Amino acid sequence: KVLNDQRINAYFLNDTVDGANLIGCLDKQVGEAAACPDVVYDCLDMLTAHAGMGISAADFGDLAEDYSLALDDHQAGPAPSLTDQDKMDIIGILASMAPDIVEDPNNDVSVYQRVGRKPAIQTVVGAPGEADSFVDTVANDVEVNGFFGGADFVRLNTCLTRQLSSIEGPALYGAEVDSPGPGVDEGVAIDNKCLDMLTVHQGIVDDMDSLITIDDFNALVVDFVTAMTTAGVPPADIQIYADVLGPMCELIVNDHPNDCPGNNELEVQENLAVGIAPIPDAPYTGSIDEMACVEFDFADTGLNFVNDVDVEIGLNNSWVGDLIIKLESPDGTITTLLSRPGTMEAADDGSGCGQDSSDLIASSPITFTDGGAKDAELMGNTLGTSQKVCQDDMECEYNPNAGAAVPGTLGDLVGADVVGTWRVCVADGCGANGSYDTVSLSIERVKLDPMP
């Protein structure tokens, strides 16, 4: 009866429960209290056995009711000599255990109890056609219902009910057992348990073969909140569920899970050299150690994969055609952002003087970003001698071009480790000295490897 009683069976339908031992201990306890001959209770005391389970007065009352009904069946079947007074005495013994078993006398300590326990949760989850239930709301939501066309809704109800019943409740998600009877935890079994969120959503696509995006996840959250609100669940309790389910976003979203809240951040570090960091003129023969570098240290934040990198640099330097700018990541990967634009280079060795005679001015910084508006090799190509890049041509954003240096783009850094020292380095292959004024390094950091 207990296993089929949806009001309390969440405590028992877990593969961690030793049913035979549980029944044996209960029989011994009642038998000893009833002075049955040769019966000795040798199990844990009630207070210890039930500590931390959060059993409510309602749970205990339902258990006592099921026990009473079982006694009725016992009396009507194999034990006709069992009297009504005997039954009352046994129930009285059971009732005397309540102070050691019940931890929630007002049925309101946990969100599981406050929302109405498993029956209420099962109703909120629902099924297609059960108006205002979560599953029915999803089935009618054109934004996400394409993912559920082939769903096993019986199993879905069981697994989602168990998952929600595990939040401040007794169910253990992933510890399912065989269904004890029709309508009770159907669709799962001891050898067919509910799957973890990553496994169950891996590779899932909708009817348009689209993966699950953050927008899809957010739509599901809205549908869930709508169903909970319609069921009368207070906002504070809905928030408790959201706080537990929200971090599962990265396990459910299978298209850019780094879009999930908390999985990404943009860190911008700026070095203000204010004209005192010199860029010496030559010699430059291709080594980054010959360049004038500014360092940036990025700490471990838990979001340690690179998803995007941009460099903004403000220089005072004449003849942009003489300049080489490189970025070095903590693992030593060197990305050439600019290599003597407008100059035909045979090699990345700084030989000869550049051809483009326009200048850079610190008050008009330039940005290097993958997909930048203009190829860095064409920097200053519309300007005359001493005219200022960005200031005079309004072209301030550039797509890196390695020229004669080792090929590579900022995009090649996606998936690299953020943590450590980064360097932005500049060399002037010919002519007058220059200086840094400002350098900023922007890195979009993400939690999960975007290039697994």
User: Which parts of the chain register pLDDT below 70?
Assistant: 273-277, 281-282, 431-432
Rounded CA-CA distance 145/248 in Å is 20
CA distance readout (Å), 360 to 10, 171, 295, 388 = 70, 66, 21, 5
The CATH number of whichever domain residue 239 belongs to comes to 1.10.490.10
Q: Could you tell me if 399 and 436 lie in one domain? A: yes
pLDDT of residue 19: 86
Q: Could you tell me if 90 and 136 lie in one domain? A: no
Q: Could you tell me if 232 and 276 lie in one domain? A: no
> 188 in a domain, yes or no?
yes
CA-based radius of gyration for the chain: 35
> 408 in a domain, yes or no?
yes
Q: Could you tell me if 53 and 139 lie in one domain? A: no
Question: Residue 315 in contact with residue 428, Cβ under 8 Å?
Answer: no
The pLDDT tens digits for 306-323 are 999 999 999 998 899 989
Kind and range of the H or E run holding 336:
strand 334-339
Q: Could you tell me if 386 and 434 lie in one domain? A: yes
Q: Could you tell me if 222 and 279 lie in one domain? A: no
Beta bridge partners of 266: 444
Q: Could you tell me if 90 and 230 lie in one domain? A: no
The pLDDT tens digits for 257-295 are 999 999 999 999 998 765 556 787 667 888 999 898 999
CA distance readout (Å), 344 to 80, 351, 377, 384 = 106, 11, 10, 18
pLDDT of residue 105: 98
Please name the amino acid found at residue 412: D
Rounded CA-CA distance 33/40 in Å is 9
- Determine the structural domain holding residue 234 and report its residue range: 111-259
DSSP string, 21-63: HHHHHHHHHHHHHTT-TT----S--HHHHHTTS--BHHHHHHH
Nearest Cα to 173, choosing from 150, 189, 155, 193?
193
Q: Could you tell me if 200 and 288 lie in one domain? A: no
> 142 in a domain, yes or no?
yes
> Burial letters for 224-259: b for 16+ Cβ neighbours within 10 Å, e otherwise?
bbebbeebebeeebbebbeeebeebbbbbbbebbbb
Report pTM: 0.88
Q: Could you tell me if 327 and 379 lie in one domain? A: yes
Q: Could you tell me if 395 and 441 lie in one domain? A: yes
The full length of the chain comes to 452
Q: Could you tell me if 336 and 409 lie in one domain? A: yes
Q: Which two tokens stand for residue 413?
A: 């850094």
The CATH number of whichever domain residue 435 belongs to comes to 2.60.120.260
Calculate what percentage of the chain has a pLDDT beyond 70: 98
Q: How many CB atoms lie within 10 A of CB 265?
A: 14
